[in-house]
Structure 1
Amino acid sequence: MWRVKSLDAILATAQKKSLHRSLGPVQLTLLGIGAIIGTGIFVLTAAASQKAGPGMAVSFVIAGMVCAVAALCYSELAAMAPVSGSAYTYTYAVMGELLAWCVGWALILEYAVAASAVSVGWSGYVLGLIENGLGFDWPDLLQAGPTWSMNGFIPTPDFSTGIINIPAIIVALGVTFLLMIGTTESARVNAILVAVKVAALTIFIVLTLPVINTEHFSPFAPNGLFGSMSGMGIVGAAASIFFAYVGFDAVSTAAEETKNPQRNVPIGLIGSLAICTIFYLLVALGAIGAIGAQPVTGPAGEALQPGSPGFVAACAIASNANQLVCSNEALAHVLREINYPAVGNALGIAAMLALPSVILMMIYGQTRIFFVMARDGLLPEGLTKIHPKWKTPYIVTLATGIAVAVAGALFPVGQLADISNSGTLFAFFMVSIAVLILRRTEPNRHRPFKTPLVWIIAPLSAAGCAFLFWNLPHDAKMVLPIWGGIGLVVYFLYGYRKSHVGRGLVEVHETDSDIPPPPATT
């Protein structure tokens, strides 16, 4: 189970098709901005303010810094082997099959749960449009899933505040159907959607900054730096906000197409992360200053986790109904509260149009991970069966879509984002370690891009990912080992015996050597 997949075979795959180097620093930076700005900032602002209050502005900076060092590590491996599989493939080559399985299994969790989180975020904006724009009162029990609490080790649902999130199911299954019949978004459509997202955030900043009230920033950190419970406080909010930055790997996977990658990849990575951090900071400051971002508390003044039964009960109190933290469409809600209802509805429309493309990328990304693991023999190859008419992997796409719809129907967006982050942080942690191991074991390998100051940057990246993971809510942290345990059972019952590497079958797949997995845009 410690057998490795030959790095020579992986590099041969990458070299089967040499990609034209045409991207400069400006194009890379714009590519990164388009991939990063997405659901996180539109949706998680409310959950972050419940955890950190006005201090969420600092949370955005912390999350961005961890992403920056992780991105530099990711880029070295992505430039060496721009092939499908992402962190899974890199781990297979460096640390062996068992750890590669764990990373691939975690990536499956990341993509699927992230798609569910985006579906719930889309639902919040659509329901806001229906209720505020059309005046239709959508039934409360059909706009959110139940609230969840732990009874020992058993999660227990409370259906009194919600039963199922119907719009989340509709968008998840709708996107799944489009993927199954072979509809994909073109680069031109994607560029338009990126422009819509950036324009919406710019308008939000322009309208909110002039009405900032400095009194709304006090107290700045009502739950402290680390909070009174797991996942709360400024650092806990940073662990959740990490979701808003994932997607920077779009720059990393483009390293093979970049002119002078040693210079331009860091510029594209750091530049896009810096610009997005500034964007996010201005949005956070505008939201905080315009209407305030103080968290709601329990009857005894205790801190409440977003999405918990206590939090739902607190938001049901009439005096808290208009609080930022209680909104499912935070940015549109802020604009309505400062007397720009039409602009708020327009921002809701922008989110409604842009977010389904993110769900599409997430589900497609998961099918790509399934494909690579099945191709290596670790999962049944029947999962990748192609439909005779649509020419798409309809079985794995349908299974993924159903799982995404079920999770979106039953869980709140904050909890889903935290669970997704647990898988993402684990994968980036393993990439940081892989870079160091490969520098020691394969020092003479050709590296189109080298992580600068690698013996400082890589440990910082690993430590940062571990630090944010530790500050996720307890339930989100526990999902990863439970999911990992299920994965180990699958591996030892099937993958260990069926592995192509274990059976001496190592192929070079030139057909996807220039098709890295799509960015996990959030």
Structure 2
Amino acid sequence: MADEELAKDLGLLSAMTIGIGTMIGAGIFVLPGVAAQEAGPIVVVSFVVGGLIAMVNALSVSELGTAMPKAGGGYYYVNRALGPLFGSIAGLGDWVGLAFASAFYCIGFGQYLAELVGLPGVLFLSPIQVGALLAGFVFVGVNYIGAKETGGVQTVIVLILLAILGVFAVAGWSSFDYATLAGEDGLAPFGFGAILPGTALVFVSFLGYAKIATVAEELKNPGRNLPIAIIGSVALVTVVYAILVTVMLGVVPWTDLSQDAPVAQAAEVAFPAGIAGAAATVMTLGALLATASSANASILASARINFAMGREKIVTNWLNKIHPRFATPYRSILVTGLIIIVFISALGQDLAVLAKAASVLHLIVYALMNAALIVFRESDAVDYDPEFRVPFYPVTPIAGALLSLGLVAFMDDIEIALSAVFVLGAVVWYFVYAREKVETGGLLSRYILSRSEEMPDAAVSAASTVKPDGGDYRVMVPLANPKHQTDLITLASAIAKQENGTVVAVNIQQVPDQTSLEAARRQGDYDAAHRILERARDDAETLGVPVETHTILSHRTFEEVFDAARTYDADVTVMGWGPDAHGSPGRAESAIDELARSLPCDFLVLRDRGFDASRILVPTAGGPDSDLSAAVARLLRTEYVSTVTLLHVADDETDGRAFLEEWAADHGLEDAELVVEAGDVEAAIGKHAADATMLVVGATERGLLSRLFTDSLVLNVVDEVNCSVLLAEKKRTRSLRERLFGNS
């Protein structure tokens, strides 16, 4: 089934106002007075430092967003790069952090609304909470209708808000007095060490820029508009904060600045007496617009993150439903809105704690996003091609991660403790719920597991522990030769059908080393590849098996099969084997690959002489590969009602039969015909294969050098029998010594 996509409705101005509208809210209308009591007039520098930290992170977000303009923003990047465990932390952290922030902004809106029009209390809800609930319902409804309407509302709100603040800045500057700003104790009455604690307090004012990336999938021309919107919104907001806070502190002494309505208080002083009251009222209306825009943008972003997590199955896939009329993830929006309403009703008195906790969670997410950028760059991810790249890599993302985590240290203990509890909860959620449902791991774990011999044991163990368990059973089929592809697809489909799985048909197009892959993609003619894959789809669907098809451009052929198996999370790969097949014995690329890698999944290699699974012969002497041979025989027997013959070569018939009976019972083949043969193994297999239509044999345990310089039983049997041969080799990790010389 094709992924459901979000409509591209947002332009540059709408996207930019999402960021500005989230940031210019309580940050300017509430926090200056509170922060001034913590740091003094030097709090202006705290706002600027917060803006600089946000700008460093904004550069990384811009690169990630132009590489992958997908709904979910930071969650999506972290999930792809670092894996679903960290994706759970980032996604749930961002989602809940924004839900807390949305409730905070709605309560701020309710506070101003109750003061302006006098709302009544209802049941256990205060007038402020009633106003907050009204705001929550309105903005959830706006988001439900669609992002285009949301962007339009946000644009109007932000433009009006900036105009009001602009008039205030001009009037305030005309009344500005440096002596009022400095006060009796100077610009830093608590010392310059108060700057960073002040930054930790006001950083909640800078949470909006990354939210633009959460709607990147709905953004027109994201390669151009996304960086402009993200970087531009941070720059503009930082300048606005610096000017307005400076003006406020130059009009009203910092010791007297209101902690509830500093802008309205400053307006009464800055404007002439005749219009001071009206100016204060306008500032109150501006505060309503500011908190409304912050709440609206936060609801939009949090719903999109929730939608993205539902699409990746970290939360229930029930959320991954697009409204047929409005083209929005309406279920996600409704669930997010319900959580916000619960927060408003239950936690309406804990505004400061909720705001700071949201900041800590977002800082953790920003640190993970910077780490994700480094993983994308260093792993050379084939689909990572950003139109914007951060300057001074890798200094920029490293600085972003360190600055984000460093700022957490200046938060209060209660916010840090709440965030630690939440992160632990996200980890528990992943292992208890999400791990068995998530289908795809991250680039980091794939990189570690694909190089397990080179990596520290602790890293390999950790990557294995957090690797997802979920997803359907996936049978990958690399297709190159049309002559044998029907039989390969038939075999793969039979296995997938019995496992309720999916066939993944892959055609690897080899590109000369002198040609870049991008040039080949632009200029290539892939009609033949498309015909192969369409035929594969038809063959698989005839058997009632779901099928995916992929064309891969690569400078390699055989080695790319292994990478594709990892990329598409194959449980087993079914491929052809013959004189002209990838990986044919004796080819240099096959030998080199065996030295360099361990198998990423189980492999079944078919020497095709016509697919007929009616009479299957399985020779066995025990061992892990014969376990796979037995499993394949069982699957084929169930699908085709095959007769299965088990063959064991032993000089002592009694001991041989005892072994074979026990082995058959252990592998669910008790009703198979059991044959014990004395003498030469190769001759015995050849003799009984004459009556078989398919020989299923485990791969040799011998190493590369011994296989190259001595005869191999498997290779000889493949060439001598007349029926099709299926070579089975289990996924395993082998040391370099075992690769060279075999098992001792």
Distance 2:216 2:146 in 1: 24
Tell me the residue number matched to 1:158: none
Indicate whether 1:196 and 2:163 are aligned: no
Tell me the residue number matched to 1:243: 204
Indicate whether 1:335 and 2:299 are aligned: no
Spell out, residue by residue over 1:249-283, the C-alpha distance to the aligned partner (whole angstroms, 9 max, x if none). 3665659745974xx86665544433322211110
Tell me the residue number matched to 2:191: 224
Q: Quick check: 1:38–1:358 contact (8 Å CA) kept in 2?
A: yes
Distance 1:396 1:21 in 2: 23
Residue 345 of structure 1, CA deviation: 0.5
Distance 1:492 1:43 in 2: 40
Counterpart pick for 1:215 among 176, 179, 184: 179
How does 1:319-468 map onto structure 2 within 5 Å?
323-326=256-259, 328-338=260-270, 339=273, 340-382=276-318, 392-393=330-331, 396-406=335-345, 409-412=348-351, 414-442=352-380, 445-468=384-407
Spell out, residue by residue over 1:104-153, the C-alpha distance to the aligned partner (whole angstroms, 9 max, x if none). 1111222111112212322333344358xxxx9999x9869xxxxxxxxx
- In structure 2, give the amino acid aligned to 1:468: L
Tell me the residue number matched to 1:503: 470
Tell me the residue number matched to 1:185: 149
Return the structure number with greater strand share.
2
Counterpart pick for 2:132 among 168, 173, 180: 168
Q: Quick check: 1:128–1:329 contact (8 Å CA) kept in 2?
A: no
Distance 1:124 1:356 in 2: 12
Distance 1:286 1:96 in 2: 46
Distance 1:129 1:479 in 2: 34
Structure 1: gaps of 5 or more residues: 1-8, 145-163, 227-232, 295-322, 509-522
**Inter-CA distance 123–222: structure 2 relative to 1 (3 Å threshold):** farther
Return the TM-score normalized by structure 2. Answer: 0.52
Residue 39 of structure 1, CA deviation: 3.4
Q: Quick check: 1:128–1:348 contact (8 Å CA) kept in 2?
A: no
Distance 2:395 2:426 in 1: 33
Distance 2:220 2:265 in 1: 41
Residue 440 of structure 1, CA deviation: 0.9
Distance 1:137 1:171 in 2: 15
Structure 2: gaps of 5 or more residues: 441-468, 475-501, 503-546, 548-744
Residue 407 of structure 1, CA deviation: 5.3
Residue 100 of structure 1, CA deviation: 0.9
More displaced 10-residue stretch of structure 1: 384-393 or 415-424: 384-393
Distance 2:325 2:238 in 1: 44
- In structure 2, give the amino acid aligned to 1:447: P
Indicate whether 1:74 and 2:78 are aligned: no
Tell me the residue number matched to 1:96: 83
Tell me the residue number matched to 2:416: 477
Distance 1:181 1:211 in 2: 45
Distance 2:433 2:399 in 1: 36
Distance 1:69 1:354 in 2: 25
**Inter-CA distance 464–331: structure 2 relative to 1 (3 Å threshold):** same
Spell out, residue by residue over 1:442-482, the C-alpha distance to the aligned partner (whole angstroms, 9 max, x if none). 16642211111111111111111112111112211111111
Root-mean-square deviation (CA, aligned residues, Å) is: 3.9
Tell me the residue number matched to 2:664: none
Residue 330 of structure 1, CA deviation: 2.0
- In structure 1, give the amino acid aligned to 2:159: A
Tell me the residue number matched to 2:654: none
**Inter-CA distance 361–259: structure 2 relative to 1 (3 Å threshold):** closer
Return the structure number with greater helix share.
1
Spell out, residue by residue over 1:68-125, the C-alpha distance to the aligned partner (whole angstroms, 9 max, x if none). 1101111111111101121111111111111111111111222111112212322333
Residue 427 of structure 1, CA deviation: 0.8
Could you say what secondary structure the match of 1:84 adopts? coil
More displaced 10-residue stretch of structure 1: 394-403 or 420-429: 394-403
Residue 358 of structure 1, CA deviation: 2.8
Q: Quick check: 1:422–1:477 contact (8 Å CA) kept in 2?
A: yes
Q: Quick check: 1:22–1:259 contact (8 Å CA) kept in 2?
A: no
**Inter-CA distance 20–388: structure 2 relative to 1 (3 Å threshold):** closer
Residue 185 of structure 1, CA deviation: 3.3
Return the TM-score normalized by structure 1. Answer: 0.72
Q: Quick check: 1:42–1:330 contact (8 Å CA) kept in 2?
A: yes
Tell me the residue number matched to 1:516: none
Could you say what secondary structure the match of 1:351 adopts? helix
- In structure 2, give the amino acid aligned to 1:365: A
Which has the higher Rg, Structure 1 or Structure 2? 2
Q: Quick check: 1:115–1:404 contact (8 Å CA) kept in 2?
A: no
Distance 1:194 1:81 in 2: 27
Residue 341 of structure 1, CA deviation: 1.6
Could you say what secondary structure the match of 1:185 adopts? helix
More displaced 10-residue stretch of structure 1: 451-460 or 271-280: 271-280
- In structure 2, give the amino acid aligned to 1:103: A
